[in-house]
Amino acid sequence: MPARPKFYLTTPIYYTNGLPHIGHTYTTVVADVIRRYKRMRGYEVAMTTGTDEHGINVERAAKNAGIPESEFVAKMADAWRALWDELGLPADEFIRTTDLRHVRTVQWLFKLCRENGYVYKGHYTGQYCIYDNAFVNDAKPGDNCPDCGRPTETLTEENYFFKLSAFQKPLLDFYKKNPEFIQPETRKNEIVSFVEGGLKDLSITRTTVRWGIPVPGEEPHVFYVWFDALTAYLSAVGGPDYEKRGFWPADLHLVGKDIIRFHSVYWPAFLMAAMLPLPKQVWAHGWFLMDASKMSKSKGNVVLPRPIANMLGMDALRYFLLREVVFGQDGNFSYDALVTRYNSDLANGLGNLASRTAAMIEKNFVGKIPKAGKLQPQDEALACETQAAIGDVLDYFDKMNFTRALESLWVVIAAADKYLTTEKPWSLGDSEADTQRKAAVLATTAELLRIVTVLAYPVLPDTAAKIWTLLGQPGSVSAVELEGLRWGQLASGVSLGKPQTLFPRLEKSEAIERIESMANEELNPTAPPAPAPAVASSTTAGAAAATSLAASEKIGIEDFAKVEMRVGQIKTAERIVGADKLLKLTVDIGTEIRQICAGIAQYYEPDSLIGRKVAVVTNLAPRKLRGVESNGMIIAASVGPEGRPVLAGFPEDVEVGARLK
Ligand code: MSP
């Protein structure tokens, strides 16, 4: 058997000072979809993801957690890896920038660049924050540090520089010869004009940062950010021995639009300087925004993947991410749109088609897929439409136009629904002619469903596997070769598998409340009862590792002191339309009146709360619950198996605003 061609793709390696949100999940989902698709097209595929573990931010985060950097990043890397595994997105190669294989590759790449004359020692002058011990990028003399707000000082330090300026022409030539290197086209135009504007040499080492890969023989120099991070793509597939594995050069680097410049300018320049093969393509996707702004924990608007996967299934999240926003553009994330799509496209669309087809075959043909027999023009028309969709969908996948690929598939699903409505197989009797007609209609529908299932597999792997079993088709759907996919290959006479509901229909507000409640629990793992009703969320290695960072068995008093709790007095309380369990409160906390949502609506009448003094966590990042901002948390005991909230109160009179210690 001839060797399969290789295909190597990467996601960015993610910073370890936080845990994955939906933005990171998006890139990794896309990588997984492409991996599954390429495998069905006959490639041997390797997909790399990993963690970017060096630098001043990690130094600081480890210090805050009171543990050594190496321990901090090990826990975070475990949490990232475990979450990807849990979400069905495991890396073929998970690379950490603290891996020895990576350290060696960075040092080797530097040596090659230096031997070829592209590295020199110089001085870097910039604005430095003496309190945070870090240079502040892009700051001018007189600017304050954006992190701590204190004045910066001008500082000069010795650095190694990379001669990026020497690569202006080689890069422009390379872009011209490889017009598809940067995608989408708009990003390419931006990069070309950036490079045409001239390139400055780049400082690639630091002496003021401690937590980094040492430059051999040149301590205290450590490699700085991008020279270290980008090289991970090569370290993951063999580093200096990349030829043995045969995966380098990479076929595809998937990145967010914010880091396209590093990937399409710095990275090819480093590789050119080292005379190593260049990657074939860099694809920049847009951002998922929440309320029109980028997600961040401090803004309280991050969306977490696990609660969605727990509530709707990972396939639903994958479908939504790819269907909702054209790959390459920005888009808004909303739970409302997510659950709406789940109900309309998955529950009423694909799920319903699969279950009604199976039910009719079960009833009319003792659960065995019938042979089509004599066909009528409308059967053939549907066959032609489906056959044509195969070509379209493959073409869209090749062009990374996932939205259009899914749209085309759902057009076919809608055509099948219409066909069934017109042909009404359920209204036919048991005469031979009627039975033959039923066989033709149901075999046609089942064949359409088989093709849709194969084509949907890269995006909906779990669902496709279930429908494949339901249709009693041989082997595994993931092993079907897309090259040979044609109308007319349905195995007939085989028995259907056990029916199962693929996507139970959900009541929207209930589903959103449950997702938000799980997200709250995950974001505040050590907090007392969440303000929205508690729903058991699965405990996973990822969650456990992340939690253990915040709550190692015993905490010191300094950790406890980080939680600010005060006596608050409830001023107003009202129900929230569409959220049965939430109350919107305004609470006087001494210094200000806060709006806080609490998951107590089923147990407390709003009016009974007015004037009541309660314990409030006042320094939680704000977040939105059912679209309503909540700025703090009311403390309650969780009583009984249902977690009935009982508000904490004060038997003696206390002053509003008093701190709980
Ligand atoms: N560590 C660097 C990448 C080094 S690659 C050699 C980094 N890490 S990151 O964790 O900050 O971001 C990783 C990726 O997540 C980026 O591609 C970024 O665009 C993407 N996203 C982060 N938030 C996002 C959204 N809200 N939406 C979509 N993607 C976004 O940068």
List pLDDT tens digits, range 552-568: 356 667 667 778 899 99
Report pLDDT for 137. 78
Residues recorded for the chain: 661
Report pLDDT for 15. 93
Q: Please calculate the CA angle 471-473-475 and round it to the nearest 5 degrees.
A: 140
Q: Is the CB of 250 under 6 A from ligand 1?
A: no
3-state helix, strand, coil in the chain (%, to 5): 45, 20, 35
> Which of 60-74, 518-532, 575-589 has the lowest average pLDDT?
518-532
Answer yes or no: are the C-beta atoms of 560 and 580 closer than 8 Å.
Answer: no
Q: Which of 14, 223, 226 to mutate to test the pocket of ligand 1 (most atoms within 8 A of CB)?
A: 14
Report the DSSP pairing between strands 202-203 and 205-206: unpaired
pLDDT tens, 635-656?
A: 998 887 667 889 998 888 899 9
Q: Phi and psi of 565, rounded to 5°?
A: -120, 140
DSSP result, 315-374: HHHHHHHHHHS-TTS-EE--HHHHHHHIIIIIIIIIIHHHHHHHHHHHHHSTTBPPP--S
Tell me: pLDDT of 291 over 80.
Answer: no
Contacts of 340 (CB under 8 A, 6+ apart): 508
Q: Is the CB of 270 under 6 A from ligand 1?
A: no
Q: Is the CB of 255 under 6 A from ligand 1?
A: yes
Task: Determine the distance separating the centroid of ligand 1 and the alpha carbon of 619, expressed in angstroms.
Answer: 27
Instruction: Give the position, in ligand 1's atom list, of the atom nearest the Cα of 230.
Output: 6
Task: Determine the distance separating the centroid of ligand 1 and the alpha carbon of 316, expressed in angstroms.
Answer: 22
Contacts of 204 (CB under 8 A, 6+ apart): 110, 119, 159, 160, 161, 162, 223, 224, 226, 227
Q: Which residues pair with 161 in a beta bridge?
A: 120, 203
Q: Using CA positions, which residue lies closest to atom 8 of ligand 1? A: 14
Q: Is the CB of 632 under 6 A from ligand 1?
A: no
Report pLDDT for 500. 82
Report pLDDT for 538. 31
- Range with top average pLDDT, 96-105, 284-293, 519-528: 96-105
Average pLDDT over residues 221-239: 96
Cα separation values, 404 from 319, 326, 398, Å: 12, 8, 11
Average pLDDT over residues 113-138: 87
What CA–CA distance (Å, rounded) separates 529 from 526?
Answer: 9
What CA–CA distance (Å, rounded) separates 501 from 296?
Answer: 36
Q: Please calculate the CA angle 322-328-330 and round it to the nearest 5 degrees.
A: 80
Q: Is the CB of 296 under 6 A from ligand 1?
A: no
DSSP result, 573-598: EEEETTEEEEEEEEEE-SS-EEEEEE
Cis bond leading into 220, ω under 30°?
yes
Reduce the secondary structure of 70-116 to three states and give it as a string. Answer: HHHHHHHHHHHHHHHHHCCCCCCEEEECCCHHHHHHHHHHHHHHHHC
Report pLDDT for 520. 87
Task: Determine the distance separating the centroid of ligand 1 and the alpha carbon of 24, expressed in angstroms.
Answer: 6
Closest CA to 79 of 10, 34, 15, 26: 15
Q: For tokens 């399969």, what's the residue?
A: 4
Closest CA to 233 of 45, 55, 4, 52: 52
Q: Using CA positions, which residue lies closest to atom 21 of ligand 1? A: 23
Average pLDDT over residues 95-112: 98
Task: Determine the distance separating the centroid of ligand 1 and the alpha carbon of 15, expressed in angstroms.
Answer: 8
pLDDT tens, 445-496?
A: 999 999 999 999 999 999 999 999 999 999 999 999 999 999 999 999 999 9
Task: Determine the distance separating the centroid of ligand 1 and the alpha carbon of 365, expressed in angstroms.
Answer: 52
What's the pLDDT band for 526 if we cut at 50, 70, 90? low
Task: Determine the distance separating the centroid of ligand 1 and the alpha carbon of 258, expressed in angstroms.
Answer: 7
Q: Is the CB of 470 under 6 A from ligand 1?
A: no
Q: Please calculate the CA angle 27-30-34 and round it to the nearest 5 degrees.
A: 140
Structure tokens at 142: 């007189």
Tell me: pLDDT of 417 over 50.
Answer: yes
Q: Is the CB of 12 under 6 A from ligand 1?
A: yes
Q: Using CA positions, which residue lies closest to atom 22 of ligand 1? A: 23
Q: Which of 89, 254, 259 to mutate to test the pocket of ligand 1 (most atoms within 8 A of CB)?
A: 259
In the chain, % of residues over pLDDT 90: 74
pLDDT tens, 596-650?
A: 999 899 889 999 899 999 999 998 877 777 778 888 999 998 887 667 889 998 8
Report pLDDT for 641. 63
What CA–CA distance (Å, rounded) separates 559 from 297?
Answer: 19
What CA–CA distance (Å, rounded) separates 13 from 485?
Answer: 35
Tell me: pLDDT of 310 over 50.
Answer: yes
Q: Which of 19, 21, 27 to mutate to test the pocket of ligand 1 (most atoms within 8 A of CB)?
A: 27
What's the pLDDT band for 268 if we cut at 50, 70, 90? very high
Q: When comparing pLDDT for 283 and 545, which is higher?
A: 283
Q: Is the CB of 305 under 6 A from ligand 1?
A: no
Answer yes or no: are the C-beta atoms of 411 and 389 closer than 8 Å.
Answer: yes
Reduce the secondary structure of 151-189 to three states and give it as a string. Answer: ECEEEEEEEEEECHHHHHHHHHHHHHHCCCCEECHHHHH
Q: For tokens 């493959």, what's the residue?
A: 394
Cis bond leading into 533, ω under 30°?
no
Q: Please calculate the CA angle 495-497-503 and round it to the nearest 5 degrees.
A: 140
Q: Is the CB of 288 under 6 A from ligand 1?
A: yes
Tell me: pLDDT of 192 over 90.
Answer: yes
Task: Determine the distance separating the centroid of ligand 1 and the alpha carbon of 10, expressed in angstroms.
Answer: 13
